[in-house]
Amino acid sequence: MALFARRNHAVRERDARDAAEGALARRDAGGVDRSTRARAARVSDAVPYERLTPDVIIDAVESCGFESTGSILGLASYENRVYQIGVDGGFVVAKFYRPGRWSTDAILEEHEFALELAAQEIPVVPPLVRDGETLHELDGYRFAVYERRGGRWPELGTSEEREWLGRFLGRIHAVGAARRFTARPTLDRDELGRRAAEHLLAGDWLPTHLVASYERVTEQLVDAIEQCFEEVGRYRELRIHGDCHRNNVLWTDSGPHFVDLDDCMNGPAVQDLWLFLAGSRDEMAAQLGDLLEGYGKFADFDYRELRLIEALRALRLIHYTAWIARRWDDPAFPRAFPWLGEARYWEQHVQALLEQRAALDEEPLAVVV
């Protein structure tokens, strides 16, 4: 029997309902006042972004005590809506959370992690605290306000830059290992792999002539991924960034910093390292060696996790396409990813999955630190 039973379009409706579920509970961690959680309970998970008008954006920022100049600049973000807003004396950044994606507790854990890192003088941009709170709500939108900090995407073309980044990640993981998230997700290979593939198969996204090939290769990948994780056995789960790659790091003369922890989760340390690797196996091994040289100055790394790199890459390949499909009702996604409806994309995607299946049979990267 095939691993993935094809289902009808009701799967889309179920996923939308699942995404709309939110939990609300009172918390006392991190020193943030939870006294207004009842107000957040009235927020509708189904409020569309179309209601997020410039007036609402400005009103939201001004409700936190800032005097707006009326200047608004949209910043790159797909899951959330993020804006740079001019205020008296400069600029702030406001992040409006996608309705229904995270529970209030999950968002607060993100904020607490950022504040915890900042308290250790680790370069992240935490949400600003106003009246004891970091999470605010207006007209059905939950949002946070941040100091604006600039920077450039890193090139990581030298060993020195990679070691610097490794030290940065090691410091984050040293703090992240102190405890686990309780409201945020743990890396779930079933959700990222099997369920993501099932969603695409159920939604008639693939051209007819590629359905069988896609189903077969994703089934093979899921089996191979499980084998990789079984070979590694138990690994330490810690609080990690979760979506750690060049476009999510900003670099200045003072080094790297994160401006967002929206995807933070419990997971293996290597999840925050492998996305910085590119090129041939020898090139990736050298890059990883530089990262771990810096990383090891602040945190221990379990080298067994190197066996998970290609498994994690396979999960990302499957999940990324399913993520776009699940967000297709958001007008920003068809505009940004029009190729999802093209047969050429799916042909290339299936080929990439086939190549990744072969990569899972290779030995882990040989790293010398």
Q: Give catalytic residues, as residue numbers.
A: 243, 260
Inter-axis angle of helices 159-176 and 104-119, nearest 10: 120
- 20, 47 in Cβ contact below 8 A? no
CA angle 238, 305, 261 (to 5 degrees): 35
The CA-atom distances, in angstroms, between 20 and each of 16, 48, 66, 101, 289 are 6, 12, 31, 7, 42
Dihedral sign (CA 5, 340, 275, 173): negative
Q: How many CA atoms lie within 13 A of 85 on its CB side?
A: 29
Residue that the structure tokens 């138990």 belong to? 234
The CA-atom distances, in angstroms, between 224 and each of 50, 232, 242, 312, 357 are 42, 13, 22, 11, 8
Task: State how far the Cα of 264 lies from the Cα of 76, in Å rounded to an integer.
Answer: 19
Task: State how far the Cα of 199 lies from the Cα of 193, in Å rounded to an integer.
Answer: 10
